[in-house]
Amino acid sequence: MTPRRTMTQDELKTLVGQAALQYVEPGSIVGVGTGSTVDKFIDALAASGIQVAGAVSSSVRSTERMKALGIAVLDAAEVQGLGVYIDGADEIDHGGHMIKGGGAALTREKIVADLAQKFVCIADESKLVQTLGKFPLPVEVIPMAAAQLARRFAALGGVATLRAGVVTDNGCHILDVTGLKISDPVAFEADVNQWPGVVTVGVFARNRAQVCLLGTSEGVKTLS
């Protein structure tokens, strides 16, 4: 018998990008996240022939990709709600809490996710963790607050580094924070969100993923 070949991370991303199509209702408006996994979803949607009324995008990157493939992109302000929001994650735990923002799009991602009834996370199996915090936590900040916020994270045992050369779609900066163990993601998100100068913390816990399509070499596993 030929041994099963281990799939590459890129192949796993393609797998879950395609699997997410089952959550797209023809004629609906779909919320679309950002990242290399979402790129696979966008490509799959364009190739699928499923006619959507349009998409609300969480980044310039995803907007450009969708427009290039003929998917209409609507302004978030034009829609009152979305059935589903599909996005990747940098980490996801078994409760659907996530770290996001590796692509610096976390603020718009949270805004579009908030419009949706259901958050479907698409990720390869390397993203599944027991406890959030190994991936450096992205935090979008007002530039003048960066140094003070780095001191606040230091008080929690974290080391915050300014992401060099990055200005977000909203004209802000990103701190990446290592050394945190986020055992209560809901409380952590609520707390850090209130620090002056924080635009968005990259913990997505209050609005967690209801479904995670996890790409594994055995196929797509659905966690919910």
Q: 3-state class of 68 per DSSP?
A: helix
Query: Could you tell me which residues are beta bridge partners of residue 30?
Result: 55
Judge whether 127 is annotated as a binding position: yes
Q: Is 91 a catalytic residue?
A: no
User: Nearest distance from residue 64's CB to ligand 5RP, in Å?
Assistant: 15
Is there binding between residue 215 and ligand 5RP (CB under 6 A)? no
Catalytic residue among 109, 125, 189, 218: 109
Residues 91-110 interacting with ligand 5RP (rule: CB under 6 A): 100-106, 109
CA distance 155 to 183: 16
Is there binding between residue 33 and ligand 5RP (CB under 6 A)? yes
DSSP 134-183: SSPEEEEE-GGGHHHHHHHHHHTT-EEEE-TT---TTS-EEEEEES--BS
Is there binding between residue 87 and ligand 5RP (CB under 6 A)? yes
User: Nearest distance from residue 204's CB to ligand 5RP, in Å?
Assistant: 9
Whether the CB-CB separation of 85 and 112 falls below 8 Å is answered with: yes
User: Nearest distance from residue 215's CB to ligand 5RP, in Å?
Assistant: 11
Closer to ligand 5RP by CB, 96 or 103: give it: 103
Is there binding between residue 36 and ligand 5RP (CB under 6 A)? yes
Is there binding between residue 37 and ligand 5RP (CB under 6 A)? yes
Whether the CB-CB separation of 129 and 220 falls below 8 Å is answered with: no
CA distance 21 to 16: 9
Q: In the complex, which residues of this chain contact ligand 5RP (CB under 6 A)?
A: 33-37, 87-90, 100-106, 109
